[in-house]
Amino acid sequence: MNDDLFRLVYYSRNHIRGDADTFDAHVGDILARSRTNNTRDGITGALLFNRGCFAQVLEGPLATVEAAFERIQQDERHGDVSLLALDPIAARSFPNWAMGFVGASDVDAGRFAGVGASSGFDPSRLSGDEIHTLLRDLTIEEEAA
């Protein structure tokens, strides 16, 4: 198997309905499943939720990253899944995260608003690079906290 590293970036729209507790329970399920599967599959990355959208970076061997993305696209908890980037990389940006979760706090929301403002808060107008940089910066801050 070719173990060269690839980075995949996508965004999607949240389809989870209900109150904050319902949303938190679903995201808890997604993160628990992601961390188990991604550890098994050699995938690292981070997931951002904000303003009704998810954005995610997956890094790892091409075969397992593509297989995870196939499963993710079929998940009814979100929709309008749009691939922004799939590129070879020299090194991981999230080596310590089987799947970090950022963006839910007020501070993160402010940071996302800054990036979002450049796109009119339309994530489809953000590039894969912008989302990757935002997620990397937020996870570095989480690690330092």
Taking the alpha carbons at both ends of the chain, their separation in whole angstroms is 38
The torsion of the CA quartet 134, 144, 64, 85, rounded to 10 degrees, works out to 10
Residues 6+ apart with CB under 8 A from 100: 45, 46, 47, 94, 135, 139, 142
Least Å distance, CB 27 to ligand FAD, is 8
How near is the Cβ of 41 to ligand FAD at its closest, in Å?
7
**CB closer to ligand FAD out of 68 and 131:** 68
Catalog residues that contact ligand FAD under the rule CB under 6 A. 26, 29-30, 33-34, 37-38, 47, 54, 56, 58, 68, 71-72, 75-78, 99
Q: Toward ligand FAD, which CB reaches closer, 94 or 130?
A: 94
